[in-house]
Amino acid sequence: MSKNPKCRFFHKKTIKRKKNQLLLSSIMAARRAIASAKMMTTTSSPLSSTRTTTTKSIVTTVASSKASFSSSAFGQTTPPLSRNNHNNRNGSTMTSFDSGKWTRRRGSHDVSSSSSSRCFTTTTTSTTTGCRRRSGFREASSVIARSYASSSEKKLLVAAPMVYVAGEEMTKYVMDLVKEKWIAPAVDTSKWEHFDLSAKNRDETNDQVLKDVVTAGFKLKAIFKEPTITPTADQVKRLGLKKTWGSPNGAMRRGWNGITISRDTIHIDGIELGYKGPVLFERHAVGGEYAAGWKNVGRGTLKTTFIPKDGPDAGKEIVVDERECKDEISAVVTYDNAYDNVHNLAKFFFERCLEAGVKPYVVTKKTVFKWQEPFWQIMKDVYDSDFKAKFIAQKIVAEKDAELVHLLSDAATMKLVQWTQGNFGMAAHNYDGDVLTDELAQMHKSPGFITSNLVGVAPDGTYIKEFEASHGTVTDMDEARLRGEETSLNPLGMVEGLIGAMNHASFTHDTKENHKKMVDFTTSIRNIMHKLFREGKGTRDLSGPSGATTEQFIDRVANELKKNHA
């Protein structure tokens, strides 16, 4: 080789150019191989000899391209190639490939994912297991995936482990688009555990899927849940369900030692939705009417008894209440308010108010419902001993006005209307919190602009957090979509939930460096959505009749994300 530095420079450039040409040739060969494989899966019998021959040709074609450049440039494996429209009844995960996009499947519901599986397979449905795998494409898949990996210098951000719970109807359709177009191009979600909590799948698994969700959530401590339906009698008939399955929320709250359901206002800079400043709300996650036992009775004597398990009266029957039922029909209802975890609720509530810089209020109806007094007293004790001085130090409250304020629940309904400046927090019992947060949502534009996060406490004291939107599955819009009509669903509430779950998963499982990267990415999604809303390019609830359709808004955010992460 010439000793002339200029000659060496041009020689190196020539070598680099040739390597790039070989790389491009390899990628094109890989794409042709994939196209052939896709054609083969739609036209050939899965077990035919034709497929075996074609498989060998794919391996040979791509392997010959592989030999022309260094394998050190690769390193990413691909998920299995499968036919679409498999309905896997046993809950196992299958994967499909379509137009260069990887999609993980659980049952009949798609869940977008990065390239995480270890083989390149075709699948056919089996009546006993839901799928049958073949493993003839391993070598071809490895080469194809590595060639795709080498064409992009930027590595995917690896998401921390968390639970992703798929729902149904319009909200599922939208979140599938979000995962496909916003998350998958930038994030490897192979550590996520996916579950299908649709009414149909709960019915087919006899609700085993709900138990699996609770177990996985307890383990990973970060959960995102799409809206689901609690089927009515009409839906039970229409969907062909065996029974009416109850809301999954109770099982989740019990399984994760739920202390509160946090519902906060979502704000977009430059757009006034309702409250000018943040409003935080903590709804006690357990107790109250939701788990009540009841029976319709006639005339007679009603006696409520309690038998202690501990203490000096253990085993003895204690009469809690005794009364005469004089009407021909009376509804007898029994329930309890569990107060052991109110200390944790108080700590969580006051910490959040301090962080947000808002004044806390506690809501009860203790003047009439005397049994609610302990809730208020525990909250006040925790505030006085651990937080009062901190609120004074941060100048959130003046020293002369530093006492914790109690609001009667009917007074709280009026304050939610009057205090439009925001900058306050409320904590209440389960039922009161349910009603008051519905009012909060209406004051702040709609339920789409309110978060909903279940917070539990693990045995080691760390938080288990489940994030979701505060609205339902939007059935009427889904029916319009299925009729071929335009829809315009704002995904902000659901995406805020997904962002919260991804950030909490990263905080729980990642290093500080990786956590910062994840927060930067999720913040970019939020900022882009807010920017489009400010520019009048959002969905029609904020941008009017000329606003974007559901799909247009998804695509606009996706295009902005591509620019940001190019």
Closest to 291 in 3D by CA, of 471, 437, 431: 431
What is the rounded distance in angstroms from the CA atom of residue 166 to the CA atom of residue 92?
Answer: 14
Distance of CA 112 to the CA centre of its chain: 13
Specify the pLDDT at position 71: 34
* Residues in Cβ contact with 451 at an 8 Å cutoff, skipping those fewer than 6 apart: 262, 263, 264, 266, 467, 469, 470, 493, 496, 497, 500
Average pLDDT over every residue of 538-554 = 96
Residues 320 and 387: beta-carbon distance below 8 Å: no
Torsion of CA 352, 357, 361, 362, to 10 degrees: 10
In b/e form, how buried is each residue of 513-551, taking b as 16+ CB within 10 angstroms? Answer: eebeebeebbebbeebbbbbbeeebbbbbbbeeebbebb
Average pLDDT over every residue of 80-88 = 35
Global confidence as pTM: 0.72
Specify the pLDDT at position 155: 86
The pair of structure tokens assigned to 58 is 């794919």
The string of pLDDT tens digits covering residues 124-179 is 333 333 333 333 333 443 444 444 444 445 689 999 999 999 999 999 999 999 99
Model confidence at 42: pLDDT above 50? no
The string of pLDDT tens digits covering residues 221-256 is 999 999 999 888 888 998 899 998 988 988 999 999
Give the CB-side neighbour count of residue 198, counting CA atoms within 13 A: 22
What is the torsional sign of CA 494, 499, 504, 510?
A: positive
The string of pLDDT tens digits covering residues 422-458 is 999 999 999 999 999 999 999 999 899 999 999 999 9
Instruction: Provide the mean pLDDT of the chain.
Output: 81
State the SS3 of 154-176.
CCCEECCCCEEEECCHHHHHHHH
Percent of the chain exceeding pLDDT 90 equals 68
What is the rounded distance in angstroms from the CA atom of residue 202 to the CA atom of residue 207?
Answer: 4
What is the rounded distance in angstroms from the CA atom of residue 366 to the CA atom of residue 152?
Answer: 63
Model confidence at 94: pLDDT above 60? no
DSSP state of 290: G
Average pLDDT over every residue of 181-199 = 97
Q: DSSP H helical segments within 81-183, as ranges?
A: 138-150, 169-178
Give backbone dihedrals phi and psi of 515, rounded to 5 degrees, phi first.
-65, -40
Element of type H or E holding 293? strand 293-297
State the CB neighbour count (10 A cutoff) for residue 474: 20
Give backbone dihedrals phi and psi of 154, rounded to 5 degrees, phi first.
-85, 125
Q: Binning pLDDT at 50, 70 and 90, where does residue 356 land?
A: very high
Model confidence at 81: pLDDT above 90? no
Model confidence at 38: pLDDT above 60? no
What is the rounded distance in angstroms from the CA atom of residue 355 to the CA atom of residue 350?
Answer: 9
In b/e form, how buried is each residue of 257-273, taking b as 16+ CB within 10 angstroms? Answer: bbbbbbbbbbbbeeeeb
Q: DSSP H helical segments within 357-451, as ranges?
A: 373-382, 388-393, 409-418, 430-443
Specify the pLDDT at position 24: 62
Residues 407 and 372: beta-carbon distance below 8 Å: no
Average pLDDT over every residue of 95-121 = 36
